[in-house]
A and B are shown apart, each in its own frame.
Chain A
Amino acid sequence: MPELFLDGRPLTVTHGTSVAAALALGADGCSRTSVSGQRRAPLCGMGICQECRVTIDGQRRLACQTLCRDGMHVQTRP
């Protein structure tokens, strides 16, 4: 079972879990802060809306289309 880090906090999830699901399993489910400062969470669940974009190991990725991997560092705040 992969162990990843959500904003620095460790979390172990079932194999095949998306990062979008992990955000809700390990924290408040939010993925980013909007240009006017609102917290946002995944919306479309299928790679269209870009609300779930997070930083994973330094790269901007869509949480709903990324599976959790061992050692991954996910950041939801700039």
Chain B
Amino acid sequence: MNETTDLLIIGAGPAGMSAALAAASRGAHIVLLDDNPLPGGQIWRDGPQASLPAAARRLREQLQACANVRCHTGTRVIASVADKTLLVENAERGWQINYERLILCTGARELLLPFPGWTLPGVTGAGGLQALIKAGLPVRDERLVIAGSGPLLLASAATARHQGAHVLRVAEQASRAAVAGFAAQLPRWPGKLLQAFALFDRHYRTASHVLEALGQERLEGVRLLQQGRIVELACDRLACGFGLIPNTQLGQALGCELAEKALAVDAWQATTRQDHYAAGECTGVGGSELALVEGAIAGHAAVGDTAAAQRLWPRRERWQGFARTLNQAFALDPRLKSLSRVDTLGCRCEDVPYGDLIGHVSWREAKLASRCGMGACQGRVCGAALEYLFDWTPPTPRPPFSPARIETLLGLEETPPT
């Protein structure tokens, strides 16, 4: 039951969907893969408490109408098993997909930094809470504190409030001057200005960050440093995320080089490996508008329609400007590096305390001595946190890229030698 395709796209968020639609017009056979149960990525996550924008629904319908696009949801990449061949797995089976060209649209994840109490039930990521609510998490009448950094905090607060939660505080670590400077730039992208107005929250505070999540068995409150003062708020949930970081692991494992912690791409969205493209936030965080246009450029370029790709360059340039403004405004305060105590868990998979990580010189040394990063998430959470805290470079991921079933791995035995 192995599969062969002209174009394989990993990730069915805005970039992946846009890439598939652009490439489909030339008649190529396309496989679109995503580990979530439905396409849409994080921003267009559908569910019983989600409201999809019309643009997202339209794109989904256009894709469904393409007979040459096959979409595998609930499917993740486990390993690269031969040249241009990936081993994948869904809930029922594992199989191999052989491709001519590949577009990586693996998106971004939240930067989650350790602080005392962050392992308590009731503490989630900021975007994490939004994703959980869209999928049906009940928050009606709950008291919420949302903290961390970036526009996602306001988006998450809006989703929570829409579902009946009381948002007590939105704590943004960036300074008032930085956020005001960002807001002053927004008229250059009128759509973004409108979004910002819609999301405005009177509980929003700049220069504020979490110090500790309080509680015994689960979260009962949060201690914040709010514009120089220590504030304690009793609450049921704390949603804390320090901005987004590109998901580069699969690209790195396939031999694509990085530039500034994102997958490096040229004007055609081509990576440093031949026939391998990348688009969207795995090439740098910049929002869904940038992801859509990058996806379309990659899709056109991957099927040889260079003229159509090139026509989109000015639009990409415009949204790259927004991305630069965004990333400058929400740069992280170095004080966030000193939130942990020695008994705060640095690695949540292997329960390694922060105190066991101090004093090592590299990720590898810390890993060998403490088991940090050796658990189920394979360092996706603690690796990124320790990269920020200690400047340690996480290693290139090795297969299996995700926990996999033995039967899936046994399928490799049937691979003919290359």
Contacts and interface: CB of A to CB of B under 8 A. Distances in A.
Interface of A: 13-18, 20-22, 24-25, 28-30, 34-36, 38-51, 53, 59-61, 64-67
Contacts of B131: 44-46, 64
B381 A67 contact: no
B37 A40 contact: no
A48 B130 contact: no
Nearest to A17: B136
Contacts of B109: 44, 46, 48
A45 B119 contact: no
B36 interface: yes
Interface SS of chain B: helix, strand, loop or mixed? loop
Contacts of A20: 132, 135, 137
A29 B236 CA distance: 12
Contact of A51 (B35, B129, B218, B348): B348
Contacts of B48: 14-17
Contacts of B376: 50, 53
B403 interface: yes
Interface SS of chain A: helix, strand, loop or mixed? loop
Contacts, number: 126
A34 B348 contact: yes
Contacts of A41: 121-122, 124, 218
B121 A29 contact: yes
A39 B35 contact: no
Contacts of A51: 348
B46 A42 contact: no
Contact of A59 (B121, B129, B377, B405): B405
Given A34-B351, A49-B348, A43 B124 contact: yes
A49 B35 CA distance: 14
20 contacts: A14-B48, A16-B46, A16-B47, A16-B135, A17-B47, A20-B137, A38-B119, A38-B351, A40-B348, A43-B125, A44-B110, A44-B124, A45-B124, A46-B131, A48-B381, A50-B349, A50-B377, A50-B403, A61-B91, A65-B37
Interface in B312-335: none
Contact of B377 (A42, A49, A61, A67): A49
Contacts of A25: 136, 138
